[in-house]
């Protein structure tokens, strides 16, 4: 800690040099807050430079989180050739980008803040579209942006050191502070202090740039001609800030500090407190938005005070309550001191930060995601390893998939499916609610690593190799031979026989062998509806089930399987064509040709790729239209974040089934009454909200506020639920979650008596490893507020080691698990076994290779009895 103490002392001396800075506003002053933030944020870090066009599609797909009144992008790890400078200038110089709202003031800005203090090694105006009105979505002209590569003049820096007694602090550290203060003064003079804004600093630092406009994020990339501009890290934000000067480029995200850019989704309840904390340390907000104070706080703690990244994250998102108690003693001691010193500067409220930064001292680029301690904002992380590496974090999984799909179309080394997806637990003892993707130089290239707040590595299996991109040419003779071998297996229309054949061999096959089989199966699917059904079902099981892929990546097997399914779906006769098949395909071009089904068991296959994610022309509306014409079976594919799937069908939709492939969007299955929906992969946020009846099966994870206010239905989830599943659920929902939930599971659950058709949740606390083996999680439920304030129903949790404790409950109690409880939940576990191949005897009741009775494996949590609550109320009085 000696070196950190020295850094802290130097930081205080640097802060003292700011004493002649004057605040433009009173501490904590802000403009009238806008509506609560519901922004879309996305970012990725790649081991190779990639072009700005790949931030485009995920930004478009999150328009529902924006409004076209504020958007921006940032990049780190830039390409010197694209900037017209040498590698040496890019790495050593400060890149200061200034937005000129009034181009006439440029000479004045340069005379006051650039030329007297800074040596200019390169300067120029950013390329932009000739006429901003050519982008129909823009209603305000974007600013003219100039880029300056500069260093502080030697004599200027020497005078600054002598004036403020900064001897003994490294030259570069002092130069960083001078650049920061100079940018502050520029903003104060030409932006914050004026009624009419003239100019402001977009970004400041080495190898980092920011652009933002009154518009959508992707329009910034379009207007400034960045589609082909390359960088290692890109981040983007949709929507103006919740505080500050909105509908103005200065108020849009990202916000800058030295060497970094920050975007965030959410809103601070204690903006005034954080501003006051900063002002006491000679750090003054100028743009009057909570995002600005967030980036200033990070800069203060990390650059000025020299805190390690772990301590910065702790200061921003403090570990509390049970999670704090579970930390190692040494960490508790340090964290207690951090919280005592910085709790008043910790943002309070719902927020999720994405930070892109350059760490020149260690030649490292970083992409950081941090979530608040209450996890009130959605966040998803993903990682892909292989010939190239990429780490991603977004508000929604579908935005991650959109990024990967865009990259894969340009470079086959990227796979449209990530190796792993996960969520962070804010302020937790498990991962600290933060992950850091770092790009460091090694052997002439950048290598990506991912660690959580505590430095624990997150990685894909090292021994699994990606597909090389080769597609085998299969001879007619080889094809006929394979077809003859496969035909008997396809007599089972359920697809189970073919799936078992593939599963047992994929472990040892090469990719080429599997591709040969996929080619033959695709061809056979054209021969009859019976063969088509069997093959679709078999390949769907390959996607849904977990098995040992050997030395191949599961993500790549899924990619190849999905490609084969798409080929099969695309070959289905289009709507309106006379054909004996019971299958019909509908897409954007044929959407107006919907007719009644040709036969009672007809299946409508809808290609969603051309439909908008929501609105009058979204695919969900055409599904409803088809249903009213008599269609009951739907296959929905090529999803790219389309929302509201299954919504609007009305009451009593028994007999309707939807199978959803690819990257579905929010609100799926919300309000359904009787239908059955299968999601073949991970799902998004707000699934099954106010669900009344029916069945939902998710062959992966689910996102935030899953089954909020649900009233009934059966739901089976193969993986995990993110934050706040089943809050305010009532009636009789029956849910099986084979993984776990982050926090607040079944809060305010009001589902009656479980033995009188009331609702309940089964949490198995298990996961599949990279070899497809079913194993228990470190904890069946890692968080707090389990069954918090519930008044009805129950939670059944697989917990043979008794890890769940009463301090995780808030209004619930652990009671003995009885034979009646087992009779109640067993039918749902049997259906869970049928759906996911998770055996009751083999997997759930076997503990340490011993078959145990159910009462030794499962525990029951029920609401605290009213008499107990009455006593508590009396005690409070």
How far apart CA 793 and CA 11 sit, in angstroms, is 55
Strand partners, 44: 234, 392
CATH of the domain at 242: 3.60.20.10
At 36 the pLDDT is 43
Q: Do residues 296 and 334 share a domain?
A: yes
At 194 the pLDDT is 66
Among 514, 546, 569, which residue terminates a domain?
A: 569
Q: Do residues 363 and 259 share a domain?
A: yes
pLDDT of 246 strictly over 60: no
Q: Do residues 142 and 190 share a domain?
A: yes
Q: Do residues 448 and 481 share a domain?
A: no
- How many angstroms from the chain centroid is the CA of residue 206? 27
Element (H, E) at 764: none
Share of the chain above pLDDT 90, in %: 77
Residues 6+ apart with CB under 8 A from 145: 97, 98, 99, 100, 125, 126, 128, 202, 211, 224
How far apart CA 843 and CA 773 sit, in angstroms, is 10
Q: Each residue of 429-486: pLDDT tens digit?
A: 999 999 999 999 999 899 999 999 999 999 999 999 999 999 999 999 999 999 999 9
pLDDT of 288 strictly over 50: yes
How far apart CA 308 and CA 369 sit, in angstroms, is 16
At 623 the pLDDT is 97
Among 536, 569, 602, which residue terminates a domain?
A: 569
Pure H helices in 689-846: 819-836
Element (H, E) at 265: strand 260-266
pLDDT of 626 strictly over 90: yes
Q: Each residue of 11-43: pLDDT tens digit?
A: 889 888 888 887 775 555 544 444 444 577 889
pLDDT tier for residue 1 given thresholds of 50, 70 and 90: very low
How far apart CA 318 and CA 295 sit, in angstroms, is 17
Q: Do residues 122 and 249 share a domain?
A: yes
* 652 found inside a domain: no
At 251 the pLDDT is 73
Q: Do residues 384 and 510 share a domain?
A: no
Closest CA to 780 of 715, 844, 866, 708: 844
pLDDT of 758 strictly over 50: yes
Task: Catalogue the E-assigned strands of 580-712.
Answer: 583-586, 603-607, 633-640, 657-663, 673-680, 693-698
Q: Do residues 483 and 427 share a domain?
A: no
Q: Each residue of 634-648: pLDDT tens digit?
A: 999 999 999 999 999
Under 8 Å between Cβ of 783 and 775: no
Q: Do residues 429 and 489 share a domain?
A: no
Q: Each residue of 342-393: pLDDT tens digit?
A: 998 898 888 889 999 999 999 999 999 999 888 777 889 999 999 999 999 9
How far apart CA 664 and CA 682 sit, in angstroms, is 8
At 713 the pLDDT is 97
Report how many domains make up the chain.
3
* 581 found inside a domain: no
* 815 found inside a domain: yes
Task: Catalogue the E-assigned strands of 614-665.
Answer: 633-640, 657-663
Which carries the bigger pLDDT value, residue 216 or residue 697? 697
Which carries the bigger pLDDT value, residue 349 or residue 244? 349
* 585 found inside a domain: no
How far apart CA 250 and CA 244 sit, in angstroms, is 9
At 498 the pLDDT is 98
* 461 found inside a domain: no
pLDDT tier for residue 612 given thresholds of 50, 70 and 90: very high
pLDDT tier for residue 65 given thresholds of 50, 70 and 90: low
At 869 the pLDDT is 45
Q: Do residues 285 and 384 share a domain?
A: yes
528: domain range?
476-569
Closest CA to 550 of 464, 616, 610, 468: 464
At 5 the pLDDT is 67
* 208 found inside a domain: yes
Closest CA to 665 of 689, 683, 641, 685: 641
How far apart CA 644 and CA 653 sit, in angstroms, is 16
Q: Do residues 401 and 265 share a domain?
A: yes
Which carries the bigger pLDDT value, residue 290 or residue 667? 667
Under 8 Å between Cβ of 730 and 695: no
pLDDT of 3 strictly over 70: no
As a whole number, mean pLDDT of residues 805-824 equals: 94
Q: Do residues 166 and 302 share a domain?
A: yes
* 278 found inside a domain: yes
Q: Do residues 389 and 489 share a domain?
A: no
Closest CA to 152 of 170, 171, 129: 171
Q: Each residue of 82-97: pLDDT tens digit?
A: 899 999 999 999 999 9
Q: Each residue of 532-573: pLDDT tens digit?
A: 999 999 999 999 999 999 999 999 999 999 999 999 999 999
CB-facing half-sphere around the CA of 729: CA atoms within 13 A: 42
* 120 found inside a domain: yes
Among 512, 536, 569, which residue terminates a domain?
A: 569
């Amino acid at each position: 800690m000696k070196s950190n103490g020295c850094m802290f002392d130097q930081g205080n001396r640097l802060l003292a040099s700011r004493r002649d800075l004057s605040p433009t506003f009173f501490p904590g002053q802000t403009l009238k807050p806008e509506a609560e933030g519901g922004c879309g944020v996305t970012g990725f870090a790649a081991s190779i430079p990639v072009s700005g066009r790949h931030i485009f599609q995920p930004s478009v797909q999150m328009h529902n989180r924006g409004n076209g009144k504020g958007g921006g992008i940032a990049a780190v790890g830039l390409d010197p050739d694209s900037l017209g400078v040498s590698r040496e200038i890019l790495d050593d110089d400060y890149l200061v980008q200034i937005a000129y709202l009034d181009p006439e003031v440029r000479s004045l800005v340069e005379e006051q803040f650039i030329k007297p203090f800074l040596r200019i090694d390169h300067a120029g105006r950013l390329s932009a579209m000739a006429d901003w009105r050519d982008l129909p979505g823009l209603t305000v002209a974007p600013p003219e942006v100039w880029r300056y590569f500069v260093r502080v003049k030697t004599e200027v820096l020497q005078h600054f050191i002598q004036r403020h007694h900064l001897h003994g602090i490294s030259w570069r550290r002092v130069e960083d502070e001078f650049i920061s203060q100079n940018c502050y003064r520029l903003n104060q003079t030409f932006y914050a202090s004026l009624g009419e804004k003239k100019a402001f600093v977009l970004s400041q630092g080495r190898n980092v740039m920011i652009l933002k406009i009154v518009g959508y994020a992707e329009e910034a990339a379009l207007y400034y001609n960045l589609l082909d501009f390359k960088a290692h890290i890109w981040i983007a934000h949709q929507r103006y800030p919740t505080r500050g000067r909105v509908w103005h480029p200065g108020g849009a995200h990202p916000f800058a500090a030295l060497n970094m850019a920050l975007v965030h989704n959410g809103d601070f309840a204690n903006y005034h407190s954080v501003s006051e904390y900063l002002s006491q340390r000679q750090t003054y907000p100028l743009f009057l938005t909570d995002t600005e104070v967030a980036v200033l706080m990070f800069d203060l703690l990390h650059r000025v005070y020299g805190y390690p990244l772990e301590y910065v994250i702790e200061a921003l998102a403090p570990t509390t309550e049970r999670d704090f108690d579970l930390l190692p003693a040494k960490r508790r001691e340090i964290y207690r001191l951090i919280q005592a010193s910085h709790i008043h500067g910790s943002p309070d409220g719902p927020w999720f930060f994405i930070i892109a930064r350059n760490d020149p001292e260690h030649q490292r680029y970083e992409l950081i995601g941090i979530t608040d301690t209450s996890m009130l904002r959605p966040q998803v992380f993903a990682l892909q390893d292989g010939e190239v590496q990429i780490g991603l974090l977004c508000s929604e999984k579908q935005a991650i998939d959109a990024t990967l799909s865009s990259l894969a179309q340009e470079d086959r080394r990227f796979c449209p499916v990530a190796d792993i997806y996960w969520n962070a637990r804010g302020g937790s003892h498990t991962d600290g609610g933060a992950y850091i993707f770092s790009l460091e130089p090694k052997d002439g290239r950048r290598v990506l690593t991912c660690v959580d707040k505590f430095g624990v590595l997150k990685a894909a299996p090292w021994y699994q190799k990606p597909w090389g991109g080769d597609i085998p040419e299969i001879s007619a003779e080889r094809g006929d031979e394979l077809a003859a071998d496969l035909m008997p297996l396809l007599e089972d229309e359920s697809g189970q026989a073919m799936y078992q054949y593939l599963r047992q061999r994929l472990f040892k096959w090469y990719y080429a062998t599997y591709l040969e089989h996929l080619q033959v199966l695709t061809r056979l699917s054209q021969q009859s509806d019976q063969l088509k059904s069997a093959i679709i079902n078999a390949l769907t099981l390959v996607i849904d089930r977990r098995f040992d892929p050997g030395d191949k990546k599961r993500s790549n097997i899924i990619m190849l399987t999905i490609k084969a399914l798409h080929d099969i779906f695309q070959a289905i006769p289009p709507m309106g064509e006379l054909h004996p098949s019971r299958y019909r395909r509908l897409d954007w071009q044929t959407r107006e040709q919907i007719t009644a089904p040709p036969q009672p068991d007809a299946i409508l296959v809808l290609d969603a790729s051309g439909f908008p994610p929501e609105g009058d022309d979204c695919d969900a509306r055409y599904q409803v239209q088809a249903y009213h014409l008599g269609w009951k079976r739907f296959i929905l594919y090529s999803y790219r974040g389309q929302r509201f799937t299954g919504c609007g069908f009305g009451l009593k939709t028994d007999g309707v089934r939807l199978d959803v492939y690819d990257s579905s969007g929010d609100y799926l299955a919300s309000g359904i009454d009787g239908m059955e929906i299968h999601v073949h992969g991970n799902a998004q946020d707000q699934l099954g909200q106010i669900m009344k009846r029916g069945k939902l099966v998710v062959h992966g994870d689910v996102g935030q506020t899953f089954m909020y206010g649900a009233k009934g239905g059966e739901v089976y989830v193969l993986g995990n639920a993110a934050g706040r599943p089943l809050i305010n659920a009532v009636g009789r929902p029956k849910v099986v979650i084979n993984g776990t939930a982050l926090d607040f599971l079944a809060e305010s659950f009001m589902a009656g008596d479980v033995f009188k058709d009331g609702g309940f949740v089964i949490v198995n606390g298990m996961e599949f490893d990279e070899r497809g083996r079913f194993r228990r999680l470190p904890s069946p439920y890692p968080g707090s507020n389990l069954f918090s304030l519930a008044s009805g129903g129950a939670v059944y949790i697989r917990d043979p080691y008794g890890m769940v404790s009463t301090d995780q409950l808030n209004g619930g109690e652990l009671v003995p698990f009885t034979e009646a409880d087992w009779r109640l939940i067993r039918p749902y576990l049997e259906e869970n076994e049928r759906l996911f191949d998770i055996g009751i005897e083999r997997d759930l009741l076997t503990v340490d290779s011993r078959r145990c009775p159910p009462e030794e494996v499962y525990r029951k949590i029920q609401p605290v009895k009213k008499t107990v609550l009455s006593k508590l109320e009396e005690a409070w009085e």
